[in-house]
Structure 1
Amino acid sequence: MRSILFLEEGRPPVSMHSLQQNCRTLHRAANAEEVKSLISVADAAVMHVTVERMQDWQSTIAGMRRLPTLWLCSENAVPNELEFGFTLDGVLFSSMNTLEMGVALKWGQRVFQQRKRWAEEREQLLQRIDERKWIDQAKAVLCEIKGISEAEAYDFLRKQAMNERKRIGDIAASIVKVYQLIHG
């Protein structure tokens, strides 16, 4: 990792040697203003905050920029319940040596990329479902107005989309919206 943003809010300082050895630059921040000024150059964020403040900080950082987010946990601060209620890409411990810290950081980066890919796939699937709804509604409208079968209605939508060089879902949404405007 090239650059790590280390957030240390009101916690006793910990040894940064292992973390420092796993990046070119370690930027330290103690508050939201400092985080905001440094987040654009960071490849990951490591938070050394209490469990109670974790969700607030995770939301603050995610609102500024999406990047791998890890928690540097003090061994005496490990929560009994592992369902935190927020998203972390990894957990680090100050007792980790340089190699262990490096593996944990790489794992956190991998988890982040996987989570990002899943979110993108989810968004695409939701768009396809929405598009499918518009197409089904448009087919029903075309069947009613033109007196054609569903297959013919779909062919009409497909040809119209090709002629206008638009997505079939956009053509279908336009047809349904106009129909609702006229008959609504």
Structure 2
Amino acid sequence: MLQYFLLINDSNVLEMGEKKVNSTSNFIETLNTIGYRVQSITTQNIIEKKVLNPIDAVILRVRISDLFQWTQKIISIKDVPLIWWCDSYTSDNDECKLNLGIDGMIFPQMEPAKLHWCFQLSANHHQLKTQWKKERQQLLFKLEERKWIEQAKGIISKMKNIPEAEAYDFLRKQAMNDRKRLADVAISIVKVHQLLNE
């Protein structure tokens, strides 16, 4: 559950005058009233780990042209749900981009119940995205291991003049005897083979 937000305001938007745009202070007051805590800074502030440590999510009130850059900057420090504040000043062009790096979007005139739903959906989207990233990394890791095993099988098969199925059994037995992972034994074999062939 998201509780503590960091609101990053584009300093250029704020310079246009709060009367022209929906007031940040009114929005923060609304969030505080419905049980959320908000810390507000401008884009001129330096974003550090200590600023993001207690934060559950970040609301970005920045122009759409700067949004992806900001999402990348924040994610490099802390991976939290990112929510874009969309109004006439932040969506300053008609270009609709799909890859903005955000988990949700809010509009300053949203009612409290809709803000709750938006924050819940943003948290869920972020959780799914994080899970997909982990699964992708695991699949890439397994694929890389598989490549080493296939190379080692080919080397053993050629050196011992045996079929690849037997080479795989040999590799597996060697890993069991050495009490090592199959991929680690395969990597050692391929690297030694490359070293000897240089």
Global fold match (TM > 0.5): yes
Distance 1:138 1:32 in 2: 53
1:41 matched to 2:54: yes
Following superposition, the deviation at residue 76 of structure 1 comes to 5.5
Structure 1 pair 35–80 and aligned structure 2 pair: CA distance change class (3 A): farther
1:16 matched to 2:16: no
Structure 1 gaps, min length 5: none
Correspondent of 2:68 among 45, 52, 55: 55
Correspondent of 2:94 among 48, 58, 80: 80
Following superposition, the deviation at residue 39 of structure 1 comes to 0.4
Correspondent of 1:124 among 113, 138, 145: 138
1:149 matched to 2:150: no
Secondary structure of 1:116's partner? helix
Deviation above 3 Å: which 4+ runs of structure 1?
21-24, 34-37, 75-79
TM-score norm. by structure 1 comes to 0.90
Alignment match, 1:137? 151
Question: What code does the residue aligned with 1:19 have?
Answer: L
TM-score norm. by structure 2 comes to 0.84
Alignment match, 1:66? 79
Distance 2:67 2:166 in 1: 56
Question: What code does the residue aligned with 1:5 have?
Answer: L
Question: What code does the residue aligned with 1:48 have?
Answer: R
Structure 2 gaps, min length 5: 15-22
**Once superposed, what is the RMSD of the aligned Cα atoms?**
1.9
Secondary structure of 2:52's partner? helix
Identical positions, percent:
32
Equivalent residues, number:
184
